[in-house]
A and B are shown apart, each in its own frame.
Chain A
Amino acid sequence: MLWLFFGIVIGYILSVLVSKVKAGQLAVKWYQWVLGVLGTVLLLFTIQNYLALKNLEFNAKAASYTWSVFGLPALVMFALIWVIPFVAGKVSKKNPKASA
């Protein structure tokens, strides 16, 4: 059931994104797609392993490590989706000749 819920949520977000890109309301670069997919996979991996290690393998210590080892990189991936274009935008404003 949990995974059905995740599937519904991810499917909805994806459908909204795709429809907005098609309508020209949103521009998503290829690396943002890649970061989004990798981040989502890592986040789901983190959740699955955390719940299984804690509740099914009764190993709370190992479970707690999943957030730092996999969850944090997932968050970093999601953050980079905005950070990279933000930084690129700032760089091009500072050096208009270089970006031209």
Chain B
Amino acid sequence: MPENLNRREFMKALGLTGAGVALTAGMTPEMVEATANNKPGEAVSKYWWVKNVDKPTTEIDWNAVKRYNEWETLRGSGTDYMGADRVKQLGDIYKEKAKKWELEGKPGYTTKDHALRAATGYRGNLAPSFLGAQKAQTPQERGMPRYEGTPEENSRIVRAALRHMGAMSVGFVELEDATTKKLIYNEDPAPSKKKILFQDVDMGYEEDDKAVIPNKARWVIVYSIQMDGDTMRSCPTPLGAQTTGLSYTRLWLSLNQLQEFIRGLGYTAYGPTRSNGLGIYPAFGVMAGLGEMSRTNRLVTPEYGPMVRLTMVVTDLPLAPTKPIDFGLHNFCKTCKICAELCPPRALSFDTEPSWKPVGPWNNAGHRAWFEHSVHCRNYQRGEAGTNCGICFSVCPYNKSDEASIHELWKATAAKTGAFNGTISKMDRAVYDSFKNPEDWWKVEDRAAYGIDTKAGKLRT
């Protein structure tokens, strides 16, 4: 305390503090209130300067209002209001302009812009498919040359497009016969069990017993969709499990849109014939640097831990491969073992070191891992939980949304040294609620959209 603090200065400090408290309390309700739930009868509660009123600010004469026919808007009756000839004329004018602008490379009207528009406009059948919906027009079909760019430029626009479509992280792998091509499945999932073949053909094709990828399609785009870690903490209930379902819906929508985008650029993108098909997504995720393999035998990412779902396409669009990463997770898993200890059917490995030896034919040999007993896991899923469980996802210390700065601090520490891994793991188990009362989930009305943090990388503050 300053020794000669006089009354004047004390009052000055008090006044400033009081003003600051008032300002802060008024301007940061989302940080100060315990839960920013709406009061009954409120649709918007975020801003203190929004007031609820009994009548809208638009004056309405309900006596004069009649039920309207939607087709009478310009959407339905444009030709009546403007004339069919004029509507056709406007369409022809735009077509000519669009062609000219695309050839000139006018910003916003380039081939990649048209490709993205066609892609995000896709809202058809969501199920994954080998060839994709094939609704988007290729540049060639529009009389345009296909998009050309360097592998680095191509990677950049694919990543920009996928992030816009909802992906979290995006990586690229080049297929090499001796290595990464072996991560493509020999046969796709049941019931079709289609053989996946590589042939010297110009276009891939699919028949009842096979899916053929051209040899020139040498690049894999593998990406993740984020799941809601807080919702997963209601596992193994249907409430907890449905965040997986929601993520798969978003995954398949983005997968279809990605295939349309690549098609719109003038290239091809081959996807799984059904969910989890085409290749080993976590393996490609590791090779592309989306994360590391963990004790759960799944990919764990530095951003949101295991709270991701993955998918991939094989494409002939040249891409710049991304490197694997090391953020200390593999080392952390040696010490931690929370997932193994809390797995009810004891399906996960308790070994400190990973092993080359698979536990059963459900594992793929050739890498050193903490192989799981999938039969134990599935028995619990089907017989006890009635869902796909998710306990190992929920309890992983890396399942954190990084809002609190402590998470980045300990993750960075674990990445640089393993000396504190045991302490970090014990503290996480002691202080962090990995399981929550599902009824409490329903009390939060304004959680983030999809329950996820959609900011990434440098956009985070």
| Chain A residues with a Cβ under 8 A of chain B | 1-2, 5, 8-9, 12-13, 16-17, 20, 25-26, 45, 48-49, 51-62, 65-66, 82
Indicate if the CB atoms of B405 and A16 lie closer than 8 Å: no
Partner of B405 from the list A1, A25, A49 (CB cut-off 8 Å) is A49
Q: Given contacts A17-B2, A20-B2, A58-B447, list 15 more A-B pairs with CB under 8 A.
A: A1-B28, A2-B31, A16-B13, A25-B2, A25-B3, A26-B2, A49-B404, A49-B405, A54-B34, A55-B36, A56-B403, A59-B433, A61-B431, A61-B432, A62-B404
Query: B249 an interface residue at 8 Å Cβ cutoff?
Result: no
- The docked-state distance in angstroms from the alpha carbon of A16 to that of B403 is 33
B190: interface (CB < 8 Å) = no
A12–B13 contact, CB under 8 A?
A: yes
Total residue contacts A-B, CB cutoff 8 A: 79
Q: Which residue of B lies closest to A48 (CB)?
A: B405
> Would A65 and B431 be within 8 Å (CB), given that A52-B403, A58-B444 are in contact?
yes
What residues of B have a CB within 8 angstroms of the CB of A17 in the complex?
Answer: 2
Kindly list chain B residues whose C-beta atoms are within 8 Å of the C-beta of A49. 404-406
**Residues of A close to B3: CB separation below 8 A:** 25-26
Known: A1-B27, A54-B34. A62 touches B431 (CB 8 A): yes
Provide the residues of chain A in CB contact with B21, threshold 8 Å.
Answer: 5
The 7 closest A-B pairs by CB, nearest first: A56-B403, A52-B404, A52-B403, A1-B27, A5-B20, A49-B404, A5-B24
CB distance from B227 to the nearest CB of A (A): 15
Could you say which of B4, B30, B431 has the most chain A C-beta atoms within 10 Å of its C-beta? B431
Interface residues on B, range: 35 or more
Q: Does B28 lie within 8 Å of A55, measured CB to CB?
A: no
A12→B431 contact, CB < 8 A: no
Q: Which residues of B contact A (CB under 8 A)?
A: 1-4, 9, 13, 16-17, 20-21, 23-24, 27-28, 30-36, 230, 400-401, 403-406, 431-433, 436, 440, 444, 447
Chain B residues within 8 Å of A26, by CB: 2-4
Q: A9-B20, A20-B2, A20-B4 are in contact. Are A48 and B404 (CB under 8 A)?
A: yes
The minimal Cβ–Cβ distance linking A4 to chain B, given in whole angstroms, is 8
From the candidates B16, B33, B400, B404, name the one contacting A8 in the complex (CB within 8 A).
B16
Q: List 20 A-B contacts (CB under 8 A).
A: A1-B23, A1-B28, A5-B20, A5-B23, A8-B16, A8-B20, A9-B20, A16-B2, A16-B9, A16-B13, A17-B2, A20-B2, A25-B4, A49-B406, A56-B403, A58-B436, A59-B432, A59-B433, A61-B431, A61-B432
Which residues of chain B are near A25, meaning CB under 8 Å? 2-4
Give the shortest distance, in Å, between B426 (CB) and chain A (any CB): 13
Q: B406: nearest residue on chain A (CB-CB)? A: A49
